[in-house]
Structure 1
Amino acid sequence: MYLVDDDEEDAFLFEMAIHEIIPYCRLRIFYNGLILLEVLADPAAKPHLIFLDMHMPYPDGLEVLMNLKINRQWADIPVIMLTGVDDTDKISLAYQLGAQSVINKPDSHSKLLDIVMNIREYWFKTVRLPGHASLE
């Protein structure tokens, strides 16, 4: 899994929650969407799932999402958008651009753990991800 978030503290908290709830998961963190797109140029770097912060400096999460979804090589990677702002227009646009989910960033560690548990149950146990065998 990849996480793209310009906020180092949010990224650290998310990483700790992932390691606590999904200990077998390898999480790679990017603090800028351009770096993510550069890394994805290598076909071997394709992740199972991308968590993408919606509100970042250039390029913002929606621009990165658009780049992911228009590229045939990356279009099938599920993208979960993370947001700390209740902007219904941007949330709607995220879905129009191909995001699989939009999740509000939680305001407590216990809520973050709940979100990660739900992610584990749905994305790692329930659905089949494109091009990958079951993750459990």
Structure 2
Amino acid sequence: MATILMADDDEDDRLLACEAMGEAGLSHDLRFVADGQELVDYLTRGGAYAPPAAAPRPAIVLLDVNMPRMNGWEALVSIRRHPELKGLPVVMMTTAWTDRDVRRCYELGANSFIQKPGSFGELVRILENVDRYWFGTVSLPGA
């Protein structure tokens, strides 16, 4: 069972992600942080995440673009600056986006860009596709 870390400030989106994982029949360890700073703390074992048991290494990060304190763009830049995190797959997600946002995502080192779905059924489908691709198609370090 892989750990998926989702950074999203919207509590409803986090709840829907849990429900969609269940609906899709996925048994990954889905963990959440509420903003980019908390994400960086989790990944670098800062603050409350210092004990390894508090922050198992994720196989993939789902990163919302629009968050308080440190947005997704800033968090992605911070992640890519850490040598031990450079290879960590990061999938950027947002509701509203432009072609410029998509380009920026890849220029900053994201592995994928996904538009947040408008319905629960679409979310289930996206999570199934994320699972199929990241855990069934590609090879991840440590797998």
Same fold (TM over 0.5): yes
Q: What are the equivalent positions in structure 2 for 1:23-102 lying under 5 Å apart?
A: 23-42=26-45, 44=52, 45-102=56-113
Preserved contact between residue 46 and residue 74 of structure 1 (Cα < 8 Å): no
Amino acid at match of 1:101: S
CA offsets per residue over residues 111-130 of structure 1, 9 Å max, x none? Answer: 11111111111111111112
State the partner residue of 1:112: 123
Residue ranges of structure 2 left out of the alignment (5+ in a row): none
CA offsets per residue over residues 71-125 of structure 1, 9 Å max, x none? Answer: 1111111000011012222221111011111101101111111111111111111
Deviation at 1:22, TM superposition (A): 4.6
State the partner residue of 2:19: 16
Runs of 4+ more than 6 Å apart: none
Aligned partners of 1:39, 1:120: CA distance in 2, in Å?
A: 22
Aligned partners of 2:108, 2:25: CA distance in 1, in Å?
A: 28
Quick check: 1:6 aligned with 2:9? yes
Paired residues, what number? 132
Preserved contact between residue 19 and residue 25 of structure 1 (Cα < 8 Å): no
Amino acid at match of 2:29: R
RMSD: 1.5
Amino acid at match of 1:20: E
Secondary structure at the counterpart of residue 81 of structure 1: strand
Amino acid at match of 1:38: D
Aligned partners of 1:88, 1:58: CA distance in 2, in Å?
A: 25
Secondary structure at the counterpart of residue 40 of structure 1: helix
Secondary structure at the counterpart of residue 73 of structure 1: helix
Preserved contact between residue 79 and residue 99 of structure 1 (Cα < 8 Å): yes
